[in-house]
Every structure is written in structure tokens, then in C-alpha cells.
Structure 1
Amino acid sequence: MKNFSIIMSCLLLFGCSSATEGDKQLIGTWKSVLKDSETGMGIDEIVFVFTEDGKLIQHIGKGEMQHIVSSNYTVEGDQIITTEEQSNEKTRGNYVVDKDTLTISFEGLKNKFLKID
């Protein structure tokens, strides 16, 4: 459960109320593997979908075990701020986009995502 909480916090990094002019490079679909915070080993698939209207839809896992989280996001400098729609919880994390790779840093963990759309 601890790992799921860390994963969810990482996912929530991406949202607030609306996208800003400087974050157009985030728009699209990004795929990665979630990592266990203690071992660094991959534990599940994660897909982020950033929309132009400031929404972030997070797909965690596959099939019947898939969990979908909807958030809003904004960008301030090199940080993405997310607000999860159900809980209203805010989270921030640093990010860098380099061509088709998005790197997110949160609580000492870095996750790399590849753009798939």
C-alpha cells in the first residue's frame, strides 16, 4: 500500500487548473514503468495523458487492475503542480522534456516517460 501511495503522489504531480503557454511540449500521451521506492524495480505500467485544457489523466496498471486518476495541472518554471479532482490534493514535482522523453523528479525518485502520441 505504501508503494501505491508513493505512486499516486508521483502521478498527482501533474495538475492544477489550466495549462500555460510554456508547457505545450507536455501535451500528449506519455508511457513509463512505475518504480518501487525502496528497490527501484519496475512494478507496473503508467500512462499520463496531458490535455491542452489543463487536464491530466493517469492510467496505472493494465486490464482489470487498471486505476485511472483525473487531475488538473499547471506549470510553474520547471515544476508541474497537480490537483487531484476527487481529493483536491495538490502535489508538485520537477520535470524536464528532452525531445520525446519526459523526466519527472518527485521525493528523490526520477521516472522517465516516452512520448507515444
Structure 2
Amino acid sequence: MYQTPEIPAVVVADVDDALLAEAFVLDVREPDEWNRGHIDNAVHIPLGQLQERVGEVPLGQKVLCVCAVGGRSSMATQFLASEGRDAINLDGGMHAWESAGRPVSLD
């Protein structure tokens, strides 16, 4: 039987200022979702463009992958790990982020 490798993840409550300061925050949602609000200083690369734009994601820096609820960002996390990045998924995505009262940027 094929077993899917575990995808590293973090819950919103465990995302502190230190992690946000050290991580490359990658938002893989679609442009309309991004425009409704995102984590401050996040970089927007929609999941459908990630394979061709993977060079924009740094090596040697933790990558925090974010989407709406965690599905697309878990795929991004898995892909980035296969490309040698230290990627981690934000469990619950922006839905959990906003529900926890965390700040959202509209810039």
C-alpha cells in the first residue's frame, strides 16, 4: 500500500513573531483571495504558478505556506520539500489565521 509522507504543519497558535520574522511567507491562493487580505510581508505565488516560479522561493530559509484552509498550501509544502526547501504548512490557512484575530494586510 502507498503511504503519503507526512506534511510538516504548524497551527496558528504556534506562529509567533520569531517564526514570522525568519520565514519566507508564501501565499498560494488565487489573486481574488489574496486581494481580500493576506499575512503582512507574504509573497503571492498562486499554486498553479509555483512550479514555474519555484526559483523565487529561497533555499536555506524556512517557508511558511498559506492558502485558504490548508489544502493547496499542503500541496505547495510537499512540492517545495521535494525541491529542497524547508517548507511548512499553515494548518487551517487564512481562515484559521483570521478566526484567531491575527492581523491581515490589504496592501
Q: Which TM-score band (shorter chain)?
A: 0.3 to 0.5
TM-score, normalization by structure 2: 0.36
TM-score, normalization by structure 1: 0.34
Would you tell me which structure has more strand in proportion to its own residues?
1
Greater length-normalized contact order (CA 8 Å, ≥ 6 residues apart): 2
Would you tell me which structure has more helix in proportion to its own residues?
2
